[in-house]
């Protein structure tokens, strides 16, 4: 007689599963962000590197602290806090003071995530919650841009990086003109457009040869990194596509009305953090709808709001607010866009 | 769905592609499983009313003899799978869990096991539809694809419906299973005879045999037998789980959507599994009862995995011993890995609806922590019914079972398990839905 099982473990079907784990998904998002991080270090030097480290460490420490307070099992290994930290750093100016970056990281995780119950329960993209907080708290520092490819970027920090907490950071305007290769204006393309009516060439924007936030400048690289995640089925392609459609359609309308006054759709698409936000921020799984139609509406809404805020609002940080608005609208969008099920009858019986 | 059609794909929308694990057994010809020394025949082997035992303890029964009679229209009789002596008629362990009334028979190993039948040679061409359907009930036929719906009930088309096409389900989309595959290679003639009988029962002019395109050998083999008038055709459709679900098959083959909670007959369809038809073709002309079926015995740590013609009522312990199980710990599953039932005891017998015995080791017994839903939408993209498992899972966690039913179409879920299969957070979605359905049913009963 053959041996028989000594122990039978009873479960219910299905007995086989095949899915990447949550931490595998999150880790892959981190991998996809690494080339962007490397490019930003190439562009802005050691300041960008320490900025990213500051936000990541701050996010991890905050998550650990709240885990302890809530007496929860450590959730650091799911890598989601690393993503929040990395995403946050990418949206900050490269010379952003480190202590402010740490405050941003703390706010992102504390107010954006753990207070709602942690990963899976955050109604907003945590990184953007942190970003929105410091936008209000430190309006000067967050709009102080420094030039890319500064000559001494690998040996010297940008003066404002090492600001002492609660003290006014060192001014960077003079430093910027010293280190800049070709007459840096200190203004981002969006600021140029908004406040001076100058349109930057779209191809420069596409390749990232402009001033801007740490990781948002090269649309090309962002698209390549996003494609990796889409290929791995860890990023829903429908969200970036819908954001792009929403942006193009809305800006095209204005461009057709008056092309001398309003920027071209291509400029809208490749300037500011739009491409980065469309690929990596709007696609935050937890804070976006799950229904097919809802995903499309959500993305288009972000594109629409971004263009409207950029053209008529008083600030250039349009995408961030557009996404936060859309995040807030997610439950509403979902409730109106439940999918039509197979075999649904036309009239309710 | 329209996009899939545009690219010329014969399939349904959504679904998953699990690894198939079929090569272990799909080329192994069916062999006969020896008679177990003791056979347990549960009285409830189909949806509907259990059969009524018509034998007594100590009675000698002959293989093929009716031992339990149908109790009304929604019931089928049961025939003795072996020649032997009735040991007991009592509550015995069954697959669904717990115990249920069953007849235990001690096999007479020296009797020769000659089958008795009704003795009436039946020529189906000469019989009326009513007589044919009655004959299908008399041989104790139920759907062998897994649902165990009494076949004669399915053949009794409701007033006002007329059937234009019989769909023959040869998809066998569950991983590991090769029962239907072997039937379609080894029993083509009786399969087609059974199909003609079914077509006559439902008065359908046309039939399509649907198989998944991972069974190309079947396509060639069956084509040689098909009539020239195109009344019966065979089509290979995409290999995808759960292609073998009736609704998914109708969509893939004919682009017909069977409405929510309706029978296929409402859309002019009657759908039968290949193994069911092959058994009808084999048994009905002889007037013989359903006493054995082909099952796939497969999985981990088995020396003699393969396809076996097994007497109904053979206990799992006997099957595992015969197949040479060498493992230490396992999950023993009646059916496939996606929708099968895990046995709670090895005394449980196989029944008419059991298509496979699957033994899984750590693959099935591994337990992962359940994490919060991260709304990745994988389950929405897997659900063949286009439900919102993500939202329903969260409602289940909040015990809002009534909302799941009223607002999220819980009762349209046919529990294929695709959502649980793809969930990165290890949320047992389909398991939650089963619980929700059961509790809702109980609540409705209490409320009258």
- Whole-number pLDDT of residue A104: 95
- Shortest alpha-carbon distance between residue B86 and chain A (Å): 26
Q: Residues A125, A200: one domain? A: no
Beta-carbon separation of B420 and A16 below 8 A: no
Is A295 domain-assigned? Answer: yes
Domains and CATH numbers, chain B: 2-26+120-286 (3.40.50.11540), 378-446 (no CATH)
In a domain, A8, yes or no: no
* Same domain assignment for residues A167 and A236: no
Scanning A212-270, the segments in alpha helix (DSSP H) are: 219-231, 238-257, 265-270
pLDDT of residue A219: 83
Confidence label for A71 from pLDDT (cuts 50, 70 and 90): confident
Quote the mean pLDDT of chain A: 85
Residue A180 has pLDDT above 90, yes or no: no
pLDDT category of residue A185 using cuts at 50, 70 and 90:
low
B114/B332 Cα distance (integer angstroms): 32
Is A309 contained in some domain? yes
Per the model's pLDDT, the better-predicted residue between B303 and A168 turns out to be B303
The mean pLDDT value for A208-226 works out to: 79
Say if residue A173 is in the same domain as residue A213: no
**CB B372 to CB A290 under 8 A?**
no
Enumerate the residues of chain B whose CB falls inside 8 A of the CB of residue A340.
Answer: 386
CA–CA min distance B139, chain A (Å): 31
More confident call, A203 vs A183: A203
Q: Say yes or no: A48 and A107 in one domain.
A: yes
Q: Measured between alpha carbons, how far is B418 from A93 in angstroms, rounded to an integer?
A: 45
- A259 and A178 in a single domain? The answer is no
Window 143-202 of A: residues touching B by CB (8 A cutoff) are none
Q: Are the C-beta atoms of residues A79 and A20 closer than 8 Å to each other?
A: no
A121 vs B372, B407, B415: nearest CB = B372
Using alpha carbons, select from B282, B297, B67, B85 the residue that is nearest to residue B191: B282
Closest by CA to B21, choosing from B214, B210, B308, is B214
Distance between B415 CA and the closest CA of chain A, angstroms: 9
* Nearest chain A Cα distance for residue B387, angstroms: 6
Q: Which of residues 93-152 of A touch B (CB under 8 A)?
A: 117-121
State residue A141's pLDDT score. Answer: 86
Q: Identify the domain containing residue A249 by its residue range.
A: 187-334
Question: Domain check: are A125 and A250 in the same one?
Answer: no
Q: What is the pLDDT of residue A2?
A: 47
| Span of A150-154, A256-260, B115-119 with lowest mean pLDDT | B115-119
| Residue B84: count of CB within 10 angstroms of its CB | 24
B337: left (phi over 0), alpha (psi -120 to 50) or beta: alpha
End-to-end CA distance of chain B: 40
Question: What's the whole-number mean pLDDT along residues A303-330?
Answer: 89
Q: A-chain residues within 8 Å CB-CB of B3?
A: none
A346 touches chain B (CB under 8 A): no
Q: What is the mean pLDDT of residues B230-234?
A: 93
| Residue B88, beta-bridge partner list | B104
**H or E element that contains A261:** none
Q: Which of A135, A170, A185 is the last residue of a domain?
A: A185
Q: Which residue of B has its CA nearest to A9?
A: B331
Counting Cα atoms < 13 Å in the Cβ hemisphere of B53 gives: 20
Residue A253 pLDDT grade (very low, low, confident, very high; cuts 50, 70, 90): very high
Per-residue pLDDT tens digits for B82-95: 999 999 999 999 98
Q: Strands B329-334, B341-342: parallel, antiparallel or unpaired by DSSP?
A: antiparallel
- What percentage of chain A reaches a pLDDT higher than 90? 49
Predicted confidence (pLDDT) at residue A4 exceeds the cutoff of 60: no
pLDDT at residue A5 greater than cutoff 60: no
State how far Cα B107 lies from the chain centre. 27
Q: Quick check: B372 and A119 CB within 8 A?
A: yes
Which backbone phi and psi does B142 adopt, to 5 degrees?
A: -130, 165
Q: Which of B255, B355, B378 to mutate to test the interface with A (most CBs of A within 10 A)?
A: B378
Residue B37 has pLDDT above 60, yes or no: yes
Residue A14: cis peptide before it, omega within 30 degrees of 0: yes
The 10s digit of each residue's pLDDT in B3-23 is 555 566 788 999 999 999 999
A295 vs B: CB within 8 A: yes
Q: Which residue has the higher pLDDT, A176 or B163?
A: B163
Give the Cα separation of A83 and A96 in Å (integer): 19
Helix, strand, or coil here: A59?
Answer: helix
With bands split at pLDDT 50, 70 and 90, how would you rate the model's confidence at B1?
A: very low
Mutate to test the interface with B, among A1, A3, A5 (most CBs of B within 10 A): A5
- What pLDDT sits at residue A349? 42
Q: How many CB pairs under 8 A join A and B?
A: 186
Q: What is the CA radius of gyration of chain B?
A: 22
Q: How far apart are CA B292 and CA B233, in angstroms?
A: 28
Asked if residue A13 is part of any domain, the answer here is no
Question: CA dihedral in degrees (A297, A298, A301, A302; nearest 10)?
Answer: -150
Q: In what order do the strands lie in the sheet with B232-237?
A: B232-237, B206-212, B165-170, B269-273
Other beta carbons less than 10 A from residue A163's beta carbon:
18
Compute the C-alpha angle A57/A60/A66, nearest 5°.
Answer: 135
- Is residue B39 very low, low, confident or very high in pLDDT (cuts 50, 70, 90)? very high
Q: Which of A16, A285, A334 sits opposite B374 (nearest CB)?
A: A285
Specify burial of residue A262 (Cβ count, 10 A radius: 0-12, 13-18, 19+): buried
Instruction: Inspect the interface and report whether the beta carbons of A343 and B408 lie closer than 8 Å.
Output: no
* Mean pLDDT of the A277-303 span: 94
Q: How far is the C-alpha of B306 from the C-alpha of B73, rounded, in Å? A: 36
A348 has pLDDT over 50: no
Residue A344 covered by a domain: no
Partner-chain contact B321 A4, CB within 8 Å: yes
Q: Which of A11, A233, A292 sits opposite B331 (nearest CB)?
A: A11
pLDDT at B8: 65
Residues A156 and A258 in one domain: no
A157 and A209 part of one domain = no
Helix (H) or strand (E) holding A7: strand A7-8
Residue B359 to residue B343: CA distance in whole angstroms: 10
Q: Is A345 among the domain residues?
A: no
Interface test with B, best of A1, A10, A17 (most B CBs within 10 A): A17
> Which secondary-structure segment (H or E) carries A295?
helix A292-312
Shortest distance between the Cα of B373 and any Cα of chain A, in A, equals 5
Tell me, rounded to whole angstroms, the distance of Cα B380 from its chain centroid: 26
**Angstrom distance (rounded) from CA B163 to CA B136:** 19
**Backbone φ/ψ region at B143: left (φ over 0), alpha (ψ -120 to 50), beta:** beta
**Contact residues for B264 (Cβ-Cβ < 8 A; gap 6+):** B167, B246, B250, B258, B270, B271
Identify all chain A residues contacting B341, using CB atoms and an 8 Å cutoff.
Answer: 13
Are A176 and A233 members of one domain? Answer: no
pLDDT value for A247: 94
Do A342 and B364 count as a contact with CB atoms less than 8 A apart? no
CB contact under 8 A, B329 and A78: no
Which residues in chain A have Cβ-Cβ distances shorter than 8 Å to B300?
none
Q: Residue B230 — left, alpha, or beta (φ > 0 → left; ψ -120 to 50 → alpha)?
A: left
Which site among A73, A125, A343 would you substitute to test the B interface, given the most B Cβ atoms closer than 10 Å to its Cβ? Answer: A343
Query: Region B137-141: what's the mean pLDDT?
Result: 94
The residue length of chain B stands at 448
A94 in a structural domain: yes
In SS3 terms, chain B reads as: CHHHHHCCCCCCCCCECCCCCCCCCCCCCCEECCCCCEEEEECCCCCCCCCEECCCCCCEECCCCEEEECCCCCCCCEECCCCEEEEEEEEEECCCCCEEEEEEEEECCCCCCCCCCCCCCCCHHHCCHHHHHHHHHHCCCECCCCCCCEHHHHHCCCCCCCCCEEEEEECCCCCCCCHHHHHHHHCHHHHHHHHHHHHHHHCCCEEEEEEECCCHHHHHHHHCCCCCCCCEEEEEECCCECCCCHHHHHHHHHCCCCCCCCCHHHHCEEEEEHHHHHHHHHHHHHCCCCCEEEEEEEECCECCCEEEEEECCCEHHHHHHHHCECCCEEEEEECCCCCCEECCCCCCECCCCCCEEEEECHHHHCCCCCCCCCCCCHHHHHCCCCCCHHHHHHHHHCCCHHHHHHHHCHHHCCCCCHHHHHCCCCCCHHHHHHHHHHHHHHHHHHCC
Share of chain B above pLDDT 70, in %: 96
pTM for the structure as a whole: 0.89
Band (pLDDT 50/70/90 cuts) for residue A347 is low
Least confident of A216-220, B30-34, B65-69: A216-220
Statement: residue A1 has pLDDT above 50: no
- pLDDT for A182 equals 52
**Which of A179-188, B270-279, B410-419 is the least confident region?**
A179-188
CA angle A127, A129, A134 (to 5 degrees): 100
ipTM of this complex prediction, to 2 decimal places:
0.86
A164 and A95 in a common domain: yes
My answer on whether A199 and A310 are in the same domain is yes
- Contact, A174 vs A245, CB < 8 A? no
Residue A46 forms part of a structural domain: yes
Q: Which of B383, B386, B380 is nearest to B418 (CA)?
A: B383
Which helix (H) or strand (E) segment holds residue A264: the answer is none
What is the number of domains present in chain A? 2
Inter-chain contact B342–A6, Cβ cutoff 8 Å? no
Q: Tell the burial category of B223 from Cβ atoms under 10 Å away from its Cβ (0-12, 13-18, 19+).
A: exposed
Polymer length in residues for chain A: 349
Give A 59-98 residues with CB within 8 A of chain B.
78
Judge contact between B148 and B353, C-beta under 8 A.
Answer: yes
- Among residues A185, A212, A237, the one where a domain terminates is A185
pLDDT tens digits along B396-425: 999 999 999 999 999 999 999 999 999 999
- Interface with chain B: mutation pick from A7, A12, A13, highest number of B CBs within 10 Å: A13
Could you give the 3-state DSSP secondary structure of residue A234? coil
Q: Give the pLDDT mean for A115-142.
A: 91
Residue A28 shares a structural domain with residue A175: yes
Higher-pLDDT residue of A348 and A70 is A70
Identify the domain boundary among A159, A185, A211.
A185
């Amino acid at each position: 007689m053959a041996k028989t099982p000594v122990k039978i473990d009873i479960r219910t079907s299905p007995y086989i599963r095949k899915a990447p784990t949550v931490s595998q998904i999150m880790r892959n998002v981190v991998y996809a962000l690494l080339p962007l991080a490397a490019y930003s270090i190439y562009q802005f030097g050691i300041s960008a590197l320490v900025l990213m480290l500051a936000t990541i460490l701050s996010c991890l420490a905050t998550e650990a602290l709240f885990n302890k307070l809530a007496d929860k099992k450590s959730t650091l290994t799911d890598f989601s806090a690393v993503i929040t930290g990395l995403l946050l750093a990418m949206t900050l100016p490269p010379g952003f003071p480190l202590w402010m970056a740490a405050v941003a990281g703390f706010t992102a995780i504390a107010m954006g995530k753990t207070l709602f119950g942690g990963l899976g329960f955050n109604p907003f993209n945590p990184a953007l919650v942190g970003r929105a907080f410091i936008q209000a708290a430190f309006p000067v520092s967050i709009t102080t841009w420094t030039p890319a490819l500064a000559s001494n970027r690998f040996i010297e920090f940008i003066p404002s990086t090492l600001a002492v907490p609660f003290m006014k950071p060192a001014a960077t305007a003079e430093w910027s003109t010293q280190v800049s290769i070709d007459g840096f204006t200190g203004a981002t393309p969006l600021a140029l457009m908004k406040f001076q009516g100058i349109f930057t060439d779209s191809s420069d924007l596409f390749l990232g040869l402009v001033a801007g936030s740490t990781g948002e400048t090269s649309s090309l690289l962002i698209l390549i990194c996003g494609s990796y995640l889409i290929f791995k089925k860890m990023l829903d392609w429908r969200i970036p596509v819908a954001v792009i459609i929403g942006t193009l359609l809305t800006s095209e309308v204005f461009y057709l009305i008056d092309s001398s006054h309003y920027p071209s759709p291509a400029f809208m698409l490749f300037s500011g953090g739009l491409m980065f936000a469309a690929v990596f921020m709007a696609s935050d799984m937890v804070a976006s709808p799950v229904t097919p139609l809802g995903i499309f509406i959500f993305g288009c809404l972000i594109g629409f709001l971004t263009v409207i805020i950029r053209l008529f609002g008083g600030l250039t940080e349009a995408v961030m607010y557009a996404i936060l608005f859309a995040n807030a609208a997610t439950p509403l969008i979902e409730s109106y866009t439940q999918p039509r099920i197979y075999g649904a009858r036309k009239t309710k019986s | 769905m329209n996009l899939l059609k545009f690219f010329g794909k014969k399939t349904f929308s959504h679904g998953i592609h699990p690894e198939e694990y079929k090569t272990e057994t799909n080329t192994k010809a069916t062999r006969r499983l020896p008679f177990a020394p003791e056979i347990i025949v549960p009285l409830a082997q189909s949806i509907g009313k259990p059969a009524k035992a018509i034998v007594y303890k100590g009675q000698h029964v002959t293989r093929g003899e009716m031992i339990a009679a149908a109790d009304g229209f929604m019931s089928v009789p049961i025939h003795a799978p072996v020649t032997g002596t009735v040991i007991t008629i009592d509550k015995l362990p069954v697959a669904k869990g717990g115990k249920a009334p069953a007849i235990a028979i001690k096999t007479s190993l020296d009797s020769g096991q000659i089958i008795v039948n009704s003795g009436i040679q039946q020529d189906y061409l000469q019989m009326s539809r009513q007589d044919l359907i009655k004959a299908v009930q008399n041989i104790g036929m139920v759907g062998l694809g897994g649902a165990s719906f009494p076949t004669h009930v399915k053949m009794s088309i409701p007033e006002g419906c007329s059937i234009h096409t019989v769909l023959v389900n040869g998809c066998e989309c569950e991983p590991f299973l090769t029962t239907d595959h072997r039937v379609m290679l080894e029993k083509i003639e009786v399969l087609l005879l059974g199909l003609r009988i079914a077509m006559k029962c439902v008065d359908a002019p046309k039939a399509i045999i649907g198989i998944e395109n991972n069974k190309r050998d079947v396509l060639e083999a069956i084509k040689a037998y098909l009539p020239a008038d195109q009344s019966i055709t065979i089509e290979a459709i995409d290999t995808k789980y759960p292609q073998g679900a009736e609704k998914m098959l109708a969509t893939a083959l004919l682009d017909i959507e069977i409405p929510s909670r309706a029978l296929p007959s409402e859309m002019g369809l009657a759908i039968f599994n290949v193994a069911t038809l092959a058994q009808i073709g084999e048994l009905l002309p002889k007037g013989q009862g359903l006493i054995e079926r082909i099952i796939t015995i497969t999985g981990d740590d088995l020396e003699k995995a393969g396809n076996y013609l097994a007497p109904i009522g053979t206990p799992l312990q006997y099957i595992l011993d015969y197949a040479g199980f060498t493992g230490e710990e396992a999950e023993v599953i009646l059916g496939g890995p996606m929708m099968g039932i895990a046995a709670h005891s090895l005394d449980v017998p196989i029944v008419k609806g059991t298509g496979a015995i699957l033994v899984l080791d750590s693959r099935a017994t591994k337990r992962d922590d359940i994490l919060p839903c991260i709304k990745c939408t994988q389950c929405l993209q897997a659900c063949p019914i286009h439900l919102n498992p993500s939202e329903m899972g969260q409602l289940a966690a909040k015990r809002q079972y009534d909302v799941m039913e009223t607002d999220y179409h819980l009762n349209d879920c046919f529990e294929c398990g695709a959502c649980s299969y793809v969930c990165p957070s290890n949320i047992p979605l389909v398991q939650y839905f089963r619980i929700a359905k059961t509790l809702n049913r109980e609540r409705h009963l209490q409320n009258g």
